[in-house]
Amino acid sequence: MIHHYNTVYHADNSYELPVRQAVYQLLVLPESNGQQQLLDFKVESSSPNEWWTATNAFGAQCIMLAPQFPVDNIQFEIKSSVNVESINPFDRPFILPQAQWELVSSHEFKVENATFLSQTDLTHFPDRDMSHLPERDETKPVLDYLVALKSFLAREISYVQGATDAHTPADMAWQVKKGVCQDFAHVLIGWCRMIGIPARYVSGYLSQGQNFRGDAQLHAWAECLLPGDGWVGIDASNDLLVDQHYIKIAHGRDYYDCSPMTGVLISGGKQVSLHRVSVDMHANQ
């Protein structure tokens, strides 16, 4: 079954002093992969500009946008249309649990997946004591352990807006036991990397109208690599495995690799940025 979504990302940027020159990078387009297909997109701006697309270091498509004259306020709206296929995240090939856990410990596996096993400033835990985590049972599949880890994190951290920001590291979010979707993702990623399971940060849209946490803005979750199988999406903030309600934009090592809007500009004074998203699901095909 195919689910058709129309997404809108809106950004409103105001500046104390006019921007004389700028190039923005917008990482907000749904990607095309084995589960979803980007059909088309449209770029709108309150200011005349030129725009083009580029590919980042992790293969995601970015929109590069350059206003053509000084502005003290500029608004962007990126509209996209995407099809997402229904999936059962538990429907996976059977692999002997012992074989999976042996792969986790193998030197070849660690070298091959070094990028998503290495901690960053946002995922690093100074104290590597893992005694508080659920006990690992190597007679069961790796996915079973990740599900237990996800649910444990969902119980331990409260979803509270304003308790953290985009620069809050995982260990701090874990200490205060509060945060939003990106904090849940960073903590889960940090734990997975500590135990040798490759994990990456994912940004995307979340289906609205389902009472999911984090659907009013761009959402964040983790993808973890199941040895001998592939990547599985895990959303600890909603205590769910990723299915057709999730629309992936990009992945990276942490939030900094997936920030929706970055850029270089010549201006001065303060800047205020407001963002919102809408996600409309149409009839199944």
The answer, yes or no, to whether residue 205 has pLDDT greater than 90, is: yes
pLDDT of residue 16: 87
Architecture of domain 2-85+259-282 in this structure: Sandwich (2.60)
pTM for the full predicted model: 0.95
Q: 48 near 67, Cβ under 8 Å?
A: yes
Least confident of 24-33, 46-55, 254-263: 46-55
CA atoms within 13 A on the CB side of 163: 19
pLDDT of residue 283: 59
pLDDT of residue 252: 98
Our CA angle for 272, 278, 282, nearest 5°, is 170
Nearest-angstrom CA–CA distance, 147 and 143: 6
The answer, yes or no, to whether residue 53 has pLDDT greater than 80, is: yes
Name the residue with higher pLDDT: 219 or 282: 219
The answer, yes or no, to whether residue 229 has pLDDT greater than 90, is: yes
Report in angstroms the alpha-carbon separations of 148 from 136, 195, 269. 9, 14, 47
Domain boundaries, the chain: 2-85+259-282, 97-243
Pick the CATH number of 97-243 from 3.40.710.10, 3.10.180.10, 3.30.70.100, 3.10.620.30: 3.10.620.30
Q: 279 near 142, Cβ under 8 Å?
A: no
Average pLDDT of 113-120? 98
Same fold, 2-85+259-282 and 97-243: no
- CB-neighbour burial class of residue 192 (10 A; exposed 0-12, middle 13-18, buried 19+): buried
The answer, yes or no, to whether residue 182 has pLDDT greater than 60, is: yes
Name the residue with higher pLDDT: 52 or 68: 52
- CB-neighbour burial class of residue 185 (10 A; exposed 0-12, middle 13-18, buried 19+): buried
Q: 175 near 181, Cβ under 8 Å?
A: no
pLDDT of residue 270: 85
Nearest-angstrom CA–CA distance, 226 and 74: 43
Q: How many CB atoms lie within 10 A of CB 240?
A: 20
Q: 254 near 189, Cβ under 8 Å?
A: yes
Least confident of 137-146, 199-208, 263-272: 263-272
Where residue 284 falls among pLDDT bands split at 50, 70, 90? low
Nearest-angstrom CA–CA distance, 194 and 123: 10
Closest CA to 24 of 52, 4, 1: 52
Where residue 115 falls among pLDDT bands split at 50, 70, 90? very high
Q: Which amino acid is at 91?
A: D
Q: Is 149 in a helix, a strand, or coil? A: helix
pLDDT of residue 169: 97
Average pLDDT of 226-236? 96
pLDDT of residue 263: 85
The answer, yes or no, to whether residue 20 has pLDDT greater than 90, is: no
Q: 143 near 226, Cβ under 8 Å?
A: yes
DSSP class of residue 131 equals: T
pLDDT of residue 285: 56
